[in-house]
Amino acid sequence: MKKKFLMINLVIVFFCCLLTFGQNTRTENTLVINADSGKNIISRHIYGQFSEHLGHCIYGGFWVGENSPIPNVRGIRKDVVEALKHIQIPNLRWPGGCFADEYHWKDGIGPRDKRPTMVNTNWGGVTEDNSFGTHEFLDLCQQLGTEPYITGNVGSGTVQEMAEWVEYLNSDGQNPMSDLRKANGREQPWNVKFWGVGNESWGCGGNMRPEFYADQFRRYATYCRNYNGNSLFKIASGPSSDDYNWTEVMMKNVGTRMNGLSLHYYTVKGWSGSKGSATKFNEDEYFDIIKRCLVIDELITKHSAIMDKYDPAKRVGLIVDEWGTWFDVEPGTNPGFLFQQNTLRDALVAGITLNILNSHCDRVKMANIAQVINVLQSMILTDGPKMCLTPTYHVFDLYKVHQDATLLPLTLQTENYELNGQKIPAITASASKDKEGVIHISLTNADPHRDLTVNCKINGTDFSEISGRILTAQELNAHNTFDKPQTIQPADFKGAKIAHHQVVVKLPAKSIVVLTLK
């Protein structure tokens, strides 16, 4: 009996010690950045956008037509172009998405009043008048100062149709498509570079098996010719999420015949049933979304490992050309239009994802958030003549400093954000050095309750000035509306100090911070 009593006491003492030890050794948040050993460039194309004929992305979002009372240049909204120019979007993907594999480009050229209508079977079954087609899209890209990324139709189109589209776009010679383009008012070729050969060929793009699609890619891509010294960057339809077999088969059978292999990953609760509200969520749902968003790191790592096996020189880029949050549509809106609000939670997803994409810039050469206006995790929402910028827009604004900068290797030790016995890392970070030698550090703190102190050691450089910008709000579901468009927007950040050649950052709960060091 005495022995048993002693044992119980010992166990209690042991657990007390463990608890005390645990409290005293609470993990520190430390960030070590090696400013003199960066070797990979964060392609600006990682900050790309996606625009599909879906809901009010094109019609109402970009395109209002020349006769609209909404201020426009040749039918394209001025306010939207101005806002997007500010965040320096490097490329714009079009016309889909699922829409791309049912789009026949010749229906969208020539006099607008003579263009046939079409039914958008993928998205709401609405009739479109094809008033926004090839010329309008390339005019939009020119107004934005961005590179076009066009996806051709493999699912329901022919090899000839795709080959002729490339010829129409890029050939300067004397041939039927070049002549047709000139007859439609465009003398010079556009020299489009980024070319998608189908979209989601495992699903809405034809429900193909990877072996079949690999052969289709080889066949279609053969006839997508290079004109005037403009080499197409051909992007194959790649895996969804963790479909590693798709990557394996594509790398084995197509390999370096493609320049890029796309990856689609959405941060979504699940594909059946409700996806949850974009604005009304509890902490469990918030935690779940952040946890799912972090998964993209593992996905890229594993797909990259397969690619490394076949392409150690990393000639084929991983192109994450659809990513972002996917929630239920806003009540009362067309379920086929995928119109969702955008909160501080989305901003955190954007900040975390961009930090992760930067960290894989040796393999990830481009990414496109879905989608730019009025669809899923948008930059911009419009309602007739009204427009508002989302929290995600502000993240792209803050992070634009990373575009084409050199990634700086870093080691991050972070506390966890814990809920109901589950843990995820609270902090993510990314650092880069731009062409002027200025260092930028982007940090996210997903913990909604705790401000965290991060001690940053920056090796291999001198600095004496620090400034910062922050995006945060009182509530996780803070969002901008047409009536209150400035509820959440970036502000100056004063929580970073230089002390003994180190930087100490007091990173507020649920925030995104970008620091500039000179």
Residues that bind ligand AHR (CB under 6 A): 52, 96-98, 199-200, 322, 370-371, 376
Residues 6+ apart with CB under 8 A from 254: 214, 217, 218, 236
Q: Which residues pair with 230 in a beta bridge?
A: 227
What does the block give as tokens for 462? 């001198």
The CB-of-205 to ligand AHR minimum distance in angstroms stands at: 8
Query: Measured from the CB atom, is 52 or 288 closer to ligand AHR?
Result: 52
Residue whose beta carbon is closest to ligand AHR: 97
The active-site residue, picked from 52, 102, 200, 415, is: 200
Span between the terminal Cα atoms of the chain, in Å: 70
* Per-position DSSP letters for 60-111, written without gaps between them: TTTB--TT-SS-EETTEEHHHHHHHHHTT--EEEES-SGGGGG--GGGGSS-
In sequence order, what DSSP letters do the residues of 337-399 get, joined into one string? G-----BHHHHHHHHHHHHHHHHTTTTEEEEEEE-SBSSSS-SEEEETTEEEE-HHHHHHHHH
- Cβ(322)–Cβ(372) below 8 Å: no
For ligand AHR, the closer CB: 50 or 63: 50
The answer to whether residue 418 is catalytic is no
User: What's the token pair of residue 411?
Assistant: 């080691």
Q: Which residues pair with 489 in a beta bridge?
A: none
Give whichever of 149 and 287 is closer to ligand AHR, judged by the CB atom: 149
Q: How far is the CB of 49 from ligand AHR (least distance, A)?
A: 12
Smallest gap from residue 346 Cβ to ligand AHR (A)? 15
Is 136 or 321 the residue whose CB approaches ligand AHR more closely? 321
Q: How far is the CB of 52 from ligand AHR (least distance, A)?
A: 5
| Residues constituting the chain | 518
Q: How far is the CB of 97 from ligand AHR (least distance, A)?
A: 3
Q: Which is nearer to ligand AHR, 96 or 133 (CB)?
A: 96
Min separation Cβ 374 and ligand AHR, Å: 12
Catalytic residue among 322, 330, 415, 465: 322
The closest alpha carbon to 204, from 129, 274, 122, 141, belongs to 122
CA 319/CA 236 separation, integer angstroms:
9
Check if 322 is active-site.
Answer: yes
C-alpha 482/C-alpha 480 separation (Å) is 7
Find the helix packing angle between 210-222 and 159-170, rounded to 10°: 40
Q: Which is nearer to ligand AHR, 164 or 322 (CB)?
A: 322
Tokens of 111: 């006099």
Burial of 37 (0-12, 13-18, 19+ CB in 10 A): exposed
Which of the residues are catalytic? Answer: 200, 322
